[in-house]
Chain A
C-alpha cells in the first residue's frame, strides 16, 4: 500500500513536469514563462498590469522589463479596454479581445459607433410602426433581408435596441394573445408594439421661461449685477 501510494505521488509530478516542459515556450526565462502562462490563461479577457502584480509578486521594474520582452518576442500584445481607456490590458498574441474588452457589439475599432446604433434604432422603429406587432426574429430577418446594416444585425443588438426603446417609453413589450393585432404571432410569444398614446414631452412652466434654464440663476438677485431688471435673457425673450 505504502509503495503504491508512493508511486501515485511520484507519477503525477513526473507527468506535470514533462507537460510543463513541453508547454514552456522556447527562449523564455522563469519569470517570463510564469507571466506568459498567467496572461495566456486569461484568453480574450486579458489581464492588467496591477492584476499581474497581485498574482505574481514581482517588483514593478522587473515586471515592466518582462512585459516589454514578451511583447518584443511577440508572445503577448497590449490592447486598450473600450470601457476604461487608460487601462492597459495584456493578452496572448494570438487571442482576439472579448466583447467585454472591445466594448461589445456597438463598438467599432474601440469606439462606440453612434451611427450604427442610430441606424438600427431607426430601422427597428420603422419596422414596428409598419408591421404593428413584431417579435425579435421578425426584426432580425427584416433588417438582414433589406441589408440595412452592413454585415447584418445580431440578436443581442436587437435586444439592446428594444430595451432602450422600452426605457424611453416608445415601445411596449407584450405577450401575444393570438387574436387581433397579434394574430401573426404565436400565443404567449414576447412581441413589441409602439406605445399607442405616447405623449410628447410637456412644455413645462419653468422650462418656458428664461429663469428655468438660466445658467446664471444662482448669481441672480433682485438688486445685484445680474438681476431681472438688467437680464439679457429676458430682453431677448420679450423682444425688447
Chain B
C-alpha cells in the first residue's frame, strides 16, 4: 500500500515530465486503482482523445500497463472483454533515477551504450532502427559518424548485460478474473495491484516472447540467444525498453558495498563487490553465494585486491557476517544482503533521531533498537544513565512522533502501580519513515520547480540567477541522495 505522499510524488513526477493532462490521468489511476477508459474519462472529466493520448504516453513510458479481462456487463449474464489500465507506481518513481541508470551503464559499458540507453529513457520504448536513427542524426549534428553495425554491437552489449529488455505484449489477457482481487484494487490500492497483477502480466508476456512454458517466471537465460538470432530480432521492428529490475539490482549492490566500505573499510567493500559479482545463486535476490576460489579470483581482478591474502579475505568475509554451507560443488560462503540493507535502514533512522532529537534521544533510541523485548522506563534510565525525568520526556516525544511504541502495564500489589513499557515497532516505523521520505522528496521536487521558475524571471539579474542555480544544484543533489535512502526502504 503506497502512502498518500508517495502517490502525490508519483503524480508530481508525471506532471513535471509530461504536463498537466497526463499528470491528471496518471493521478486518477494512482488514486483509484485499475480503471477502464470510460471510467478514466468520467473521473477526470477530460475528453476521450485527451485521455487516450495521455494513456498512450504513459504506456509508451511503461508508467501504465494495459490488460484485458473478461467482465460481466449489465445484468451480469453477458461477459465481455474489457481493457483495464493500471498505473505502475514503481516505474513512475524510477524516473527520479534516470541519471543514476545512465551513470551505471557508462561505467560498465562505456559512453556509446550510455547514449543508446539515454534514447530509450527519453522515448520509453523504441525499435532498434528508431534508436539507431536517433543516434545517427545526433552524431551528424555533432559532426561525427557512427555506423549501424557498431551501434548494433553496442546495443547487443546492453541486451546481454540485461540493461535493456524486449517490451512485453501490449495488452495481455488475464484469465480467469479474480473478482475479489479486482474489487480490492478499486479500493485505492494502486500499488497493491501493481505488485500482484503486474508480475503475472510481465511473466505472461515474456513467456510468449521467449517461448518459455506458461506459468514459469521469466528466465534471464532465455534472452541469451545466439548473436545471429539477435541480429534478426534487432532488425525486425521489435520494441525495446529499459530493464528497471536490473538497475535496481545494481543500485542495491552499490548500496551494500558502500555500507560495507563505511563500516569495515575499503577491503570489505572490494570483497563484498567481488562476492556479488561471482554470485552463483540466481533465484534468491536477497543473498549471494560463492566459493572462496571464485571470490579470490574476482577480488584479484579488482584494483587493490591483488595484495589481499587468503586469510585476510576469510577474516573480512567473517566480519561481513557470512555463513558457510556445503554443496556438491564444495564449500560456499553466503552473505545475506537483506541484513546489510537492514543496517543501512537503521543507520538512516538513527541519524534522523540524532539530528531531530539530540544525542540523549539517540542513545535511548539505539538502546531500544537493539532490544528484542519491551523495556520499562526506569530500566532504560538505569541502563543509559540518563535521569528518569529526561528519559521519560524523550520517550514520550519519540512515541508521539511514532518512533516508539508504548504499552501500559498495571502491577497489582498493595496498591496499583502503572508501568510504561517501550519498544521499537520496526514495521510501523519503516512505513512512517518511508511516508516522510516521500513527503520530503515531493517538497524537494516542488522547490526545484519553484527555483526554476524564479531563474526564468531573473534572466536579467546575473548574480541572483547564479545564487538560484547554486541553490537548485544543492536541492537536486539532496533529492538524489534522498532517493538512495528511499530505495533502501521501498525497492531493496
State the CA gap A145–B263 with chains docked (Å): 38
A residues in contact with B440, CB < 8 Å: 206, 209, 211-212, 217
Which A residues are CB-close (under 8 A) to B468?
240
Per DSSP, are chain B's interface residues mostly helix, strand or loop, or mixed? helix
- Interface bits B340-373 vs A (CB < 8 Å: 1, else 0): 0000000111111011100000110011001000
A12 to B367 Cα, complex, angstroms? 57
Q: A206-B348, A238-B474 are in contact. Are A211 and B467 (CB under 8 A)?
A: no
Interface membership of B8, Cβ < 8 A:
yes
CB-based contact A160/B362 at 8 Å: no
Residue pair A211, B444 in contact (C-beta under 8 Å): yes
Give every chain A residue within 8 A of B366 (Cβ-Cβ).
167-169
> Which of A121, A217, A240 is B439 in contact with, Cβ under 8 Å?
A217
Answer whether A205 and B355 are a contact pair too, CB < 8 Å, given A117-B385, A211-B444: no
Contact of B482 among A51, A197, A202, A206 (CB under 8 A): A206
* CA of A169 to CA of B437, assembled, Å: 28
Q: How far is the CB of A60 from chain B (nearest CB, A)?
A: 14
Chain B residues with Cβ below 8 Å from A201 are 350-351, 354, 362
Contact partner of B443 among A55, A204, A228, CB < 8 A?
Answer: A228
Which chain A residues (5-60) contact chain B, with CB distance < 8 Å? 48, 50-51, 54-55
| Inter-chain contact A212/B356, CB cutoff 8 Å | yes
B interface size (C-beta, 8 A): 51
> B166: shortest Cβ distance to chain A, in Å?
35
A112-B387, A167-B366 known; A204+B485 contact, CB < 8 A: yes
**What 0/1 pattern do residues 422 to 454 of B give for CB contact below 8 A with A?**
000000000001001101101110110010000
Tell me, yes or no, whether B471 is within 8 Å of chain A by CB.
yes
Given contacts A164-B384, A167-B366, A228-B447, contact A197 B264 (CB under 8 A): yes
Say whether A151 faces chain B, with CB atoms less than 8 Å apart.
Answer: no
Q: How many whole Å from B257's CB to the nearest CB in chain A?
A: 15
Nearest-CB residue, chain B, relative to A164: B385
CA distance A209 to B262 in the complex (A): 21
A160 to B362, CA, bound (A): 19
Cα A205 to Cα B436 with chains together (Å): 12
Q: Are B347 and A83 in contact (CB under 8 A)?
A: no
Select one of A83, A168, A208, A231 contacting B388, CB under 8 A.
A83
- CB-CB under 8 A from A117, the residues of chain B are 385
Chain A residues in 8 Å Cβ range of B384: 164, 167-168
- Cα A208 to Cα B485 in complex, Å, equals 12
Q: Are A206 and B354 in contact (CB under 8 A)?
A: no
Taken together as a complex, chains A and B put the C-alpha atoms of A228 and B446 apart, in Å, by 7
Assembly CA distance A163 to B385 (angstroms) = 9
A180 within 8 A of B: no
Does B281 sit within 8 A of A, measured CB to CB?
no
Q: Contacts A207-B354, A211-B439, A238-B471: A167 and B478 contacting too (C-beta < 8 A)?
A: no
Report the separation of the CA atoms of residues A51 and B415 in the bound assembly, to the nearest whole angstrom.
7
- Say whether B446 contacts A209, CB under 8 Å: no
Q: What is the chain A residue whose CB lies nearest that of B362?
A: A201
- Chain B interfacial positions (CB closer than 8 Å to A): 8, 12, 262-265, 347-352, 354-356, 362-363, 366-367, 370, 378, 382-385, 387-388, 414-415, 433, 436-437, 439-440, 442-444, 446-447, 450, 467-468, 470-471, 474-475, 478, 481-482, 484-485
* 9 A–B contacts, CB within 8 A, in A order: A51-B414, A106-B385, A167-B366, A204-B485, A207-B354, A209-B482, A220-B439, A220-B443, A222-B8
Counting from the closest, the 9 A-B pairs by CB-CB distance are A204-B351, A211-B440, A207-B355, A205-B485, A238-B471, A112-B387, A228-B443, A228-B447, A51-B414
